[in-house]
Amino acid sequence: MTSTRFKNKVVIVTGAAQGIGRGVALRIASEGGTVLAVDRSDIVNEVVQEIKEGGGTAAGFQADLETFAGAQAMVAECLARFKRVDVLVNNVGGTIWAKPYEHYEEAQIEAEIRRSLFPTLWSCRAALPFMLKKKRGVIVNVSSVATRGVHRVPYSAAKGGVNALTASLAMEHTRNGIRINATAPGGTDAPPRRVPRNQAKVKPSARDTVWYQGVVDQTVDSSLMHRYGTIDEQVAPILFLASDDASYITGTVVPVGGGDLG
């Protein structure tokens, strides 16, 4: 049976060019949703083309969601093109560097926070006025179980902020007909990134490789299943929370880490 959970719904998916975001955009379209696929990279247009070739409805939009202007432009584009926003999936984020905290430079700490907290903060702020006007809407934030993890302290702090944002927004706006939840993915097997998070593209040193392996080892050890998850295993709970199947769930962060609760 083909699901139509998102029929007649307009869904913004951020970070839609690769990885989990791409999987979310494709699945929502396959379940009848109209998708605005948003990313900083023009690769997002390939995702839109794939959706259209499968008979779905989608448009792409490039924006820098580390800025409020970028988030505002995204929502304005969705309203101009599709007239409404029913669901917002905030997927932008991800570790840029992996190292013990004392080795992070000031600029690197700030970059990690801008990457993994501000896109969600700005996008929620940009979408809320329309949802409040209509007295309905759903927001799903993508956090991480790495709020407890090694060699990623700035990223962990950013995702802790996403968790707090999720809970606080739900307390403010569930009474206004808006549900806000998050998933917290654990380690996830994904194809190599076509656009690296570290734009400097610096080849990792032997020490960098050891530090990153520490992240991998801790991730696997912390999971009761002792493995990484798949893209599909991360997409499914995001879609559940975004759909009416989760109509009595709000203010919740759902760990999706094979038993690692973060």
**Catalytically active residues, by annotation:** 155
Tokens of 156: 């962990």
* Residue 191 near residue 211, CB atoms below 8 Å: no
CA distance 208 to 220: 19
Please name every residue paired with 140 in a beta bridge, in sequence order, or none if there are none: 89, 181
Distance from C-alpha of 145 to C-alpha of 123, rounded to nearest angstrom: 21
Cα atoms in the 13 Å half-sphere on the side-chain side of 155: 23
Give 230's DSSP letter.
Answer: P
- Closest by CA to 249, choosing from 184, 182, 168, is 182
